[in-house]
C-alpha cells in the first residue's frame, strides 16, 4: 500500500501541476492559456493577410496542441469574441443572447494587425519543441500590454481557480501610461454587454462585485431591460425571470426578447402591478442582480500567484521598458551587422580585393587571400573578418560588382549610422520611449475604429474604447422586503394539510415566500417552519401565525392547562424567542392537557369548580395581568387546589379580526355576556374540543365571544359540562378549521342565539 500511495502522490502532483500550468490558469507574461497561445502562434505562422477557415486553423493548431479539435475550436471562438486580436467573418455566436457559433467549416478568421504589434516579435521570443518534437512553439509571447486584464480569464484547476473580469482597452493603456509617468490611477472592470456594477468590495480584483441589469421603468406598465449584468446573457436572464414568475415571486403578464447586437427585453405587467413595484423584485429574485467573486490568479515564473489589477499594470509598465530595450538591442545588433557587411562589401569591390583570388586553387587559399586583403583596412572594420563574411563576399555576382554604386553604399551606411545613434539615445530614455509607444498605439487603435467594417477587415469596434459598464453604488435589497405578501396560506382541517398549495380548507393569512409560520397543535406541540408548499401538520391545529423572531418574540402567550389526575388548573405566561426550524417543541409539561391559549395582555377568566360536599365557593375570577411572565420551560402557577369543571374566558372587547385566528367550534357553548350593569346570556363562546385522552373526564370549557375576533388569535378548549349539556360528548371531535372572515363567526353566533 505504501508503494501505491507513493505512485498516487507522485501522479497526482504531476497531474495537478499540469492542469494548473498547462490548462486552466493564464500566464502573466501574455495573459493566455496554452491553447490560446498555440492558436495565436498558428495564426501568426499562416498569416498572409487573408481569411482562413477556422477548421483549417484548428487543424494546423493540432500540430502544437496535444488535445482534440473541439477544445481548440471552442477556445478560438471565445478568443475571437473578445474582439482584440482576431478578425472574424461569419457567425461566431452572440455574447448578448448566448447563441453558439456555426460549425468551424463555415466561419473564417485571421490575425489582426494589432496582435502583431502587441504580442508578436519572434526575434525576442523563446521557442521550445512542440509535444511531438516536430515543430517549435513559443514559451510565452512578449506582450506589451496586460492582455490578462483586457481579455479577462476564467479557469478551474486542482485546488484553485481564477476569475478575472475584462477591462477597457483604452483605460488599461492609459493606466499603464500613468504608471510610467508616476501618476496614481484607478481602474475597474468593463464588459461589452454593459450593465451596472458596484465595486465597493472589489478589492482591486480579489473581492466581489454586485452587478445589475439596466432597467427602464419610464413606462409604468412596461419594463425594458436595455443592458445585461456582467457575465450574463439574455437567455439566462429570461430563464431566471420565468422561474421567479412560476414560483410566485413576481407578477408579469408577458416577457419578450428582442436582443440582437444589443440587449432589449420587454416585460409587460398585469393589471394593478406597476413598474416601480416590481423593479426591486427583479433585482431580488432574478439574474437582474448578481454577485460575482473575483480572484486574479495567474502563472508567474511557473508558479500560481494571486495579484491585483494595480500590481499587474505596474508589472507590465516595468516589463514594457524591458521589452523595448530587448527590441532596440536586437535592432542595434542587426544594424551593426548590416553596417559591417556594407563596409566589407565597399572595401572588397572598391579596393579590388577580389582580384587577389584569381590565381588561388583551393578554398583555403581563397579565404586566406580575402582575409589578408582586409588587413590594411582593419581600422575601418567594426570587427574582424570571419569565414562567414568571406562566404558572403564571394557570393556577390560579377554583374553587381561591375554595377556597384559607391554613393549608394555610402548613403546606406550613413542611414544605418543615424539609426544606431537614435537607438543609443532611446536606450538612455526607455521610460519616455515606452510612453511614446503606448500613445502611438492608442492613436493607431483609434484610427482602426474609424474604418468601415464592411470594406476593411482591419476595422475595430468603436465600443472597444468606450466604457460600456457604469460604476454605481447600490442599496442593499432584502429579498424578504422585496417579496410580495400576497400568497394565500390555507389549512384543511379534514386532511390536516397546511400550505400555499392546499386548495381546500380555509385561508389563514397572506404570506410571502420567505416568511416563517408558528403552528400550535391541540396536543401542546408547536413547530416553526418555512412557508410550506403543502405539509401535514395535524388535524387538530390550534393556532397558526407569523413566526419571524422580531414578531414572535413580542407575542405573550397565556397558557391554561390542567392535570388530568387532580383536575387542578395551571396558568403560564411565556414568550417563544428561540427555536430551531422544523423541530417540534412542547409548550406544556408532560401528561398535561391544554385548555386554552390567549395572546392578550389584559383579560379576566373564571374557574368553575366541581360541586363537592362542604364546598361553598363554586366560581372564582382572576385577572391574567396579575400573574408574572415566566420562561418557556418553566412550570405554570396553580390557580387553586380544587377540582375544576371548566374555565370561562372574558370575551374580546374589540371588533377587529386578524388573519391567523382559528375558528372555534360551536357544538358546546356557554352563553355569557358581560355588561356594565348586568350579564346577559346572548353570545356564545366558540371553543375547541378537548383531546381524546381526557374527553370522558372533563367538562366543557366555554367563554363569551364578541362578534369578531381581534389580533390575539386565541382558542379555548371545550370540556364537558353537565350544566350546559347532559349528553356525552364524542371524544374524537376535530376543529372545523381556519377562518379569514369575521362574518362567519358572527353568523354562527346568531344561529346559536336563536337556538
pLDDT tens figures, 166-197: 999 999 999 999 999 999 999 999 999 999 99
| Among 531, 547, 535, residue whose Cα is nearest residue 248 | 531
Kindly state the cell numbers that stand for 467: 466604457
Compute the mean pLDDT over every residue in the chain, rounded to the nearest whole number: 81
pLDDT tens figures, 618-659: 899 999 999 999 888 888 999 988 888 888 988 875 433 333
First-last CA distance in the chain: 88
Q: How many CA atoms lie within 13 Å of 209's alpha carbon, on the beta-carbon side?
A: 27
Residue 256's contacts (CB-CB under 8 Å, 6 or more residues apart) are 265, 266, 268
pLDDT tens figures, 112-137: 988 999 999 999 999 999 999 999 99
- pLDDT, position 698: 33
Q: Which residues pair with 230 in a beta bridge?
A: none
Q: Specify whether 491 is catalytic.
A: no
Which helix (DSSP H) or strand (DSSP E) does residue 497 occupy? Answer: strand 497-499
Residues in the chain: 755
Q: How far apart are CA 190 and CA 196, in angstroms?
A: 10
Q: Which residue ranges in the chain fall short of pLDDT 50?
A: 654-755
Residue 4's alpha-carbon distances to 1, 12, 18, in angstroms, are: 5, 12, 21
DSSP 358: T
- pLDDT, position 653: 59
Beta carbons of 737 and 508 less than 8 angstroms apart: no
Beta carbons of 531 and 487 less than 8 angstroms apart: yes
- pLDDT, position 508: 87
Q: Where are the alpha helices (DSSP H) in 62-205?
A: 69-81, 113-118, 147-151, 169-181
Q: How far apart are CA 721 and CA 61, in angstroms?
A: 94
pLDDT tens figures, 475-485: 877 666 666 67
Catalytic residue among 15, 18, 64, 106: 106
- pLDDT, position 437: 94
Q: How far apart are CA 649 and CA 604, in angstroms?
A: 7
Kindly state the cell numbers that stand for 520: 400550535
* 3-class state of residue 179 by DSSP: helix
Architecture of the CATH domain 485-754: 6 Propeller (2.120)
Residue 401's alpha-carbon distances to 204, 340, 343, in angstroms, are: 65, 18, 14
Q: What is the CATH number of domain 310-449?
A: 1.10.268.10
- pLDDT, position 674: 32
Beta carbons of 285 and 237 less than 8 angstroms apart: no
- pLDDT, position 478: 64
Phi-psi region of 112 (alpha: psi -120 to 50; beta: other; left: phi over 0): beta
Q: How far apart are CA 301 and CA 487, in angstroms?
A: 59
Residue 331, judged by CB atoms within 10 A of its CB (0-12, 13-18, 19+), counts as middle
Query: Would 310-449 and 485-754 be classified into the same CATH topology?
Result: no
- pLDDT, position 754: 45
The CATH class, in words, for 33-139 is alpha beta
* 3-class state of residue 471 by DSSP: strand
Report CA Rg, the chain. Answer: 44
DSSP 105: T
Q: How far apart are CA 191 and CA 460, in angstroms?
A: 16
- pLDDT, position 68: 84
With cell 420562561, the residue in question is 631
What residues does each domain of the chain span?
33-139, 310-449, 485-754
Amino acid at each position: 500500500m505504501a508503494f501505491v500511495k507513493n505512485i498516487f502522490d507522485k501522479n497526482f502532483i504531476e497531474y495537478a501541476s499540469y492542469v494548473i500550468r498547462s490548462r486552466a490558469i493564464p500566464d502573466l507574461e501574455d495573459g493566455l492559456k496554452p491553447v490560446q497561445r498555440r492558436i495565436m502562434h498558428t495564426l501568426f505562422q499562416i498569416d498572409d493577410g487573408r481569411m482562413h477557415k477556422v477548421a483549417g486553423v484548428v487543424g494546423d493548431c493540432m500540430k502544437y496542441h496535444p488535445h482534440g479539435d473541439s477544445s481548440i475550436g471552442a477556445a478560438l471562438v471565445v478568443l475571437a469574441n473578445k474582439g482584440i486580436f482576431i478578425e472574424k467573418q461569419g457567425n461566431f455566436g452572440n455574447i448578448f443572447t448566448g447563441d453558439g457559433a456555426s460549425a468551424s467549416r463555415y466561419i473564417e478568421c485571421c490575425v489582426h494587425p494589432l496582435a502583431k504589434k502587441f504580442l508578436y516579435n519572434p526575434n525576442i521570443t523563446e521557442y521550445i519543441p512542440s509535444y511531438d518534437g516536430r515543430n517549435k512553439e513559443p514559451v510565452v509571447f512578449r506582450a506589451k500590454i496586460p492582455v490578462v486584464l483586457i481579455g479577462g480569464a476564467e479557469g478551474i484547476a486542482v485546488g484553485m481557480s481564477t476569475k478575472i473580469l475584462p477591462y477597457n482597452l483604452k483605460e488599461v493603456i492609459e493606466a499603464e501610461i500613468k504608471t510610467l509617468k508616476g501618476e496614481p490611477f484607478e481602474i475597474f472592470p468593463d464588459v461589452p454587454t454593459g450593465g451596472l456594477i458596484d465595486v465597493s468590495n472589489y478589492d482591486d480584483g480579489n473581492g466581489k462585485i454586485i452587478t445589475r441589469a439596466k432597467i427602464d421603468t419610464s413606462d409604468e406598465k412596461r419594463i425594458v431591460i436595455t443592458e445585461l449584468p456582467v457575465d450574463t446573457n439574455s437567455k439566462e436572464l429570461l430563464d431566471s425571470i420565468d422561474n421567479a414568475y412560476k414560483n410566485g415571486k413576481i407578477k408579469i403578464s408577458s416577457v419578450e426578447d428582442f436582443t440582437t447586437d444589443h440587449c432589449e427585453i420587454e416585460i409587460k405587467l398585469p393589471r394593478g402591478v406597476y413598474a416601480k413595484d416590481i423593479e426591486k423584485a427583479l433585482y431580488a429574485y432574478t439574474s437582474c442582480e448578481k454577485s460575482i467573486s473575483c480572484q486574479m490568479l495567474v502563472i508567474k515564473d511557473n508558479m500560481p500567484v494571486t495579484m491585483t489589477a494595480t500590481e499587474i499594470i505596474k508589472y507590465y509598465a516595468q516589463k514594457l521598458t524591458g521589452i523595448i530595450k530587448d527590441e532596440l538591442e536586437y535592432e542595434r545588433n542587426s544594424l551593426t551587422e548590416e553596417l559591417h557587411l556594407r563596409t566589407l562589401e565597399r572595401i572588397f569591390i572598391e579596393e579590388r580585393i577580389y582580384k587577389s583570388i584569381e590565381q588561388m586553387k583551393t578554398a583555403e587559399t581563397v579565404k586566406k587571400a580575402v582575409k589578408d586583403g582586409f588587413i590594411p583596412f582593419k581600422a575601418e572594420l567594426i570587427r574582424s573578418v570571419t569565414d562567414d563574411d568571406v562566404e558572403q563576399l564571394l557570393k556577390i555576382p560579377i554583374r553587381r560588382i561591375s554595377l556597384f554604386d559607391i554613393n549608394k553604399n555610402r548613403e546606406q551606411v550613413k542611414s544605418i549610422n543615424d539609426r544606431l545613434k537614435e537607438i543609443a539615445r532611446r536606450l538612455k530614455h526607455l521610460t519616455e520611449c515606452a510612453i511614446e509607444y503606448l500613445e502611438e498605439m492608442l492613436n493607431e487603435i483609434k484610427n482602426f475604429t474609424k474604418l468601415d467594417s464592411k470594406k476593411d477587415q482591419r476595422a475595430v469596434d468603436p465600443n472597444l474604447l468606450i466604457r460600456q459598464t457604469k460604476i454605481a453604488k447600490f442599496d442593499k435589497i432584502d429579498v424578504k422586503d422585496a417579496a410580495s405578501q400576497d400568497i394565500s396560506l390555507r389549512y384543511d382541517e379534514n386532511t390536516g394539510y397546511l400550505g400555499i398549495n392546499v386548495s381546500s380548507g380555509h385561508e389563514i393569512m397572506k404570506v410571502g415566500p420567505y416568511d416563517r409560520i408558528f403552528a400550535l397543535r391541540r396536543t401542546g406541540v408547536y413547530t416553526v417552519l418555512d412557508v410550506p408548499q403543502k405539509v401535514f401538520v395535524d388535524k387538530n391545529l390550534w393556532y397558526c401565525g407569523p413566526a419571524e423572531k422580531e414578531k414572535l418574540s413580542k407575542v405573550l402567550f397565556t397558557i391554561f392547562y390542567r392535570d388530568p389526575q387532580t383536575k387542578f388548573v395551571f396558568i403560564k405566561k411565556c414568550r417563544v424567542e428561540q427555536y430551531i426550524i422544523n423541530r417540534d417543541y412542547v409548550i406544556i409539561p408532560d401528561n398535561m392537557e391544554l385548555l386554552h391559549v390567549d395572546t392578550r395582555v389584559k383579560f379576566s377568566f373564571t374557574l368553575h369548580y366541581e360541586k363537592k360536599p362542604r364546598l361553598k365557593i363554586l366560581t372564582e375570577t382572576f385577572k391574567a395581568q396579575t400573574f408574572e411572565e415566566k420562561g418557556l420551560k418553566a412550570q405554570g402557577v396553580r390557580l387553586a387546589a380544587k377540582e375544576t369543571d371548566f374555565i370561562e374566558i372574558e370575551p374580546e372587547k374589540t371588533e377587529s379580526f386578524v388573519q391567523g385566528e382559528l375558528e372555534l367550534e360551536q357544538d358546546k357553548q356557554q352563553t355569557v355576556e358581560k355588561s356594565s350593569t348586568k350579564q346577559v346570556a346572548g353570545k356564545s363562546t366558540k371553543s375547541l374540543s378537548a383531546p381524546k385522552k381526557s374527553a370522558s373526564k372533563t367538562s366543557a370549557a366555554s367563554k363569551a365571544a364578541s362578534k369578531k375576533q381581534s389580533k390575539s388569535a386565541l382558542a379555548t378548549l371545550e370540556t364537558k359540562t353537565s350544566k350546559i349539556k347532559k349528553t356525552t360528548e364524542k371524544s374524537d371531535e376535530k376543529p372545523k378549521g381556519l377562518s379569514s372572515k369575521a362574518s362567519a363567526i358572527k353568523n354562527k353566533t346568531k344561529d346559536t342565539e336563536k337556538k
